[in-house]
Amino acid sequence: MLSEFDLISRYFTRAPRSNIDHIALGVGDDCALLMPAAGTQLAISTDMLVEGRHFFPDAEPFALGHKCLAVNLSDLAAMGARPLAFTLALALPEAREEWLKPFSTGLLALADLHQCELIGGDTTKGPLNICITVFGETLPGQALRRDAAQPGDDIWISGTLGDARLALAAYRNELVLDAASHAQAASRMHQPTPRVALGMALRGIAHAAIDISDGLVGDLGHILKRSGVGATLAVDSLPAGTVLSRQPQAIRRRFTLAGGDDYELCFTAASANRAAVQAAAQSATIGVTRIGTIDAKSGLRLHDANDAALDLQLTSFDHFRST
Ligand code: ADP
Ligand code: MG
């Protein structure tokens, strides 16, 4: 059986990377020491993943390691921040190497992709619970805040929506997918891609941004509320995931609007910036789609392809209301 300190040193401690200069001290002391560049602001965010709530008890550990950092990096992306470092607080029922090795490999592979170093954490015995705090860097006045949308702004979305929710529906036997389609949709659910490069490229171009974790309607709703505005969405122009796009319209609409677990960026930008948004997306090698408009009038209006009003009953994911 591994001791707590063996476990930390074997799976979560690495030699300092030569290409990273913003960390003065990493894992092993009472605190880590970070060196954000002069004049920058720290962007900080925490996300907790709990077994049985955010992932299945038999979740594959490599993908789980990826996902728990991905959802945190997605919050930095939604702020337009550059990832610097993260901490990991881990409760584990037992120190099993068959779990720890793939988990830390998946986690640290994504960390390396974004030069975001693991600088510390806490490890304890208990029901599986993974809590990550990320630290990022942004410039004063350049963060993409939820309260910055303006009437007349275009509303944009990166990538595609709904495949993660479609995979969940298949797991729950709400619908049937063939094996290949299910596997394809499930990879969106288990290994989301945080849109970090896009968030950074949108600094100075976008007004407000949020990442889609609980569903577009609910998450866009946060921007609307904080910005004191409303919006009109062109529901049938929402980009559905590859697998979802083969489903009937009612499912397409429901899962693009209120799917959850997509980790795409929804952002607003002045219509004068359309070309700049497209150039930012191209530099980040991700597609973006214009899906609606910010209105001065409060509330969210859903329109179909003929611009007729739709009345869809949708709820976004709320841990204390739904199951
Ligand atoms: P303390 O008792 O001072 O809080 P710990 O014994 O909890 O220290 O941790 C020892 C060192 O290992 C610290 O630097 C801490 O940040 C780090 N650490 C603990 N758990 C983890 C983990 N899961 N991942 C990365 N670093 C960790
Ligand atoms: Mg500790």
Q: Give binding residues for Mg(2+) as ranges.
A: 30, 45-47, 75, 122, 211, 214
Give nearest CA residue, ligand 1 atom 17. Answer: 120
The mean pLDDT value of the chain amounts to: 94
Cα–Cα distance for residue pair 107/24, rounded to 1 Å: 21
Half-sphere exposure in the Cβ direction for 178 (13 Å, CA): 5
Could you tell which of 122, 124, 125 is best to mutate to test the pocket of ligand 1, judged by most ligand atoms within 8 Å of the CB? 122
DSSP state of 240: B
Cα–Cα distance for residue pair 237/235, rounded to 1 Å: 5
pLDDT at 323: 39
Tens digits of per-residue pLDDT, 17-68? 777 889 999 999 999 999 999 999 999 999 999 999 999 889 999 999 999 9
Q: Give binding residues as ranges.
A: 30, 45-47, 54, 75, 121-122, 146, 211, 213-214, 261, 317
Nearest to 65 by CA among 97, 94, 88, 96: 88
Give nearest CA residue, ligand 1 atom 24. Answer: 121
Task: Quickly count: other Cβ atoms within 10 Å of residue 263's Cβ.
Answer: 24
Give me the percent of the chain exceeding a pLDDT of 90: 89
Domains in the chain, CATH or no CATH each: 4-138 (3.30.1330.10), 154-303 (3.90.650.10)
pTM, rounded to two decimals: 0.94
Cα–Cα distance for residue pair 245/259, rounded to 1 Å: 13
